Chains A and B, each alone.
Chain A
């Protein structure tokens, strides 16, 4: 990983990785955590949504799993529900509260993250953010509750979380995309939405699975001599790859033109299943 990137990550306590489903958010979380840990930082990785992928990708790093449902129960237990806490789920209290104050489940997760950030136990906390289109909702939970709830513990929590999100020395958001038309469009829309609605600082965006074969020769100009067998296959493969690389490069240029934020590229790995060694290689090679 380039020193610039390590310095950028070191400048904040918390990085929340966000992006649509399928773009490789978890991979990017692992790579950023790996890179920071390799540079000697004390790193905590946080995984949401009950997935367990990061334990496999960065087996030697500390990974914590946060569940909104459990944290909400814990929160309610501490805020006046002690006697009836056991019945919270079966009586539907959690559902009433979640619906009366939408975003409270996201807020308790962010509240927990804020609490971990405040301990100062880690130089960098990397959060594998929520999946799909949930990222903006997740990040705007505090702002939404500040509008809706006028007093009480929820408001205090929302104030603290909003303060953390608004301070680039404490928190930044890394958006992830793929070098393809639709993911790039979505990244651009999400960037503006996050800036407008949340006011959190965007760190460099990460483009995942960038094909680095930009120098593959044009197969029509290459002589194969006497070789005949499988030559057609080699030509077809090169044509396919060159077309894909050209399409990706066009998307990267468009992203650069439409979104004035620095891009970091992660190379596509020749595998359908990433192993810790792939994460280490990607962390080493992360280049702007």
Chain B
């Protein structure tokens, strides 16, 4: 077995971004990459969005993860370290606000505002934005030399790349400029009353909700420049050579098409897909064909040996699915190149212990044998 492309990636990268559609095993892949990198002596922190309980259990963290990095209590050996944290979007947002605020009073005023709370909790793209902020923060943290990020299960994987600019773009619109107009006493209400745009907004959402928005923008005044600069830094980090992208998918047509599309988008924007992981491929079970197995099933059936026929028919069926799954991967292999495609077999049951994670690691870091 030759080592897979991930070996060079975990050796040299400072940031690894795992992306792909929901339900393809991204979080597990991020964890397995983290374990392996730590074994190679790196000080790794894995940032996940919503780790399944079973994965936390498998990592020896039965109480789950918190918003701050904590040491993962599994045996790494050597000098490496494995840390993990869960992205806490509202807490992260508050930290960013406090970092940019002139003083505590300004930060408190913003954080208490309902319009702000809506931004932190519900503005589309906020989770991706905070994931990118976490990435930036951890990259600058001396405790770690590799940050592995599991991206949020967005509808569109590109959201993550555009995430750093979410708030800046949001603040660029005319409507916000109106809301942020300099406010001398009495002028603010006057402007709402005289602006047809703001009047119309007030009619739909109610005047108290609009008042919250105005109060937010007043409190936020002066901070937008800091946010913009920070967004540029995060974007620069995503484009840095030390940042690598790992695409994750499963062998179903829709997730493969999404991966193909995303790989194309990454390449267009000048990013390189360092490795593409295809999770949960059904093993092929030997070098034989579907026909080999179905012929034997037929022969056994003619002999009246139903048990043997059932076993051959099962082999035929699993090989058929395994073949169909590999057919689905063809467009992806064409897009990213065969050599970056890493196949990880489906295990008969869920990943629930460290042994299963080790097994996945063995597949991720070594190329599987042809057809195997």
Q: Which residues of A contact B (CB under 8 A)?
A: 20-23, 49, 53, 76, 79-81, 83-84, 87, 90-93, 95-104, 131-133, 137, 148-154, 180-182, 185-186, 213, 215-217, 219, 221-225, 227, 229-230, 232-238, 240-241, 243-244, 247, 270-273
Contact = CB atoms under 8 A, between A and B. Distances in A.
Contacts of B23: 20-23
Contacts of B172: 92
Given A95-B170, A182-B350, A185-B52, A131 B201 contact: no
Nearest to A218: B307
9 closest residue pairs by CB, A with B: A22-B23, A92-B173, A21-B22, A233-B286, A102-B122, A243-B348, A247-B349, A273-B253, A92-B175
A172 to B, nearest CB: 24
B232 interface: no
Contacts of B155: 49, 131-132
B176 to A, nearest CB: 6
Given A223-B308, A230-B315, A238-B314, A182 B115 contact: no
A53 B255 CA distance: 12
A253 B211 CA distance: 53
Contacts of A270: 317, 320-321, 324
A18 to B, nearest CB: 13
Given A81-B204, A234-B315, A272-B328, 18 more contacts: A22-B255, A23-B23, A92-B175, A96-B201, A131-B153, A149-B209, A181-B54, A217-B311, A222-B311, A230-B286, A230-B293, A236-B286, A240-B283, A247-B349, A270-B324, A272-B253, A273-B324, A273-B328
Given A76-B204, A149-B206, A91 B308 contact: no
Nearest to A268: B321
B175 A80 contact: no
A204 B316 CA distance: 34
Contacts, number: 207
B22 A131 contact: yes
A100 B216 CA distance: 11
Interface of B: 21-24, 50, 52-54, 115, 118-119, 121-124, 153-155, 170, 172-176, 179, 196-197, 200-201, 203-206, 208-210, 212-213, 250-255, 283, 285-286, 288, 292-293, 296, 305, 307-308, 310-312, 314-315, 317-321, 324-325, 327-328, 348-350, 352
Contacts of B305: 225
A232 to B, nearest CB: 7
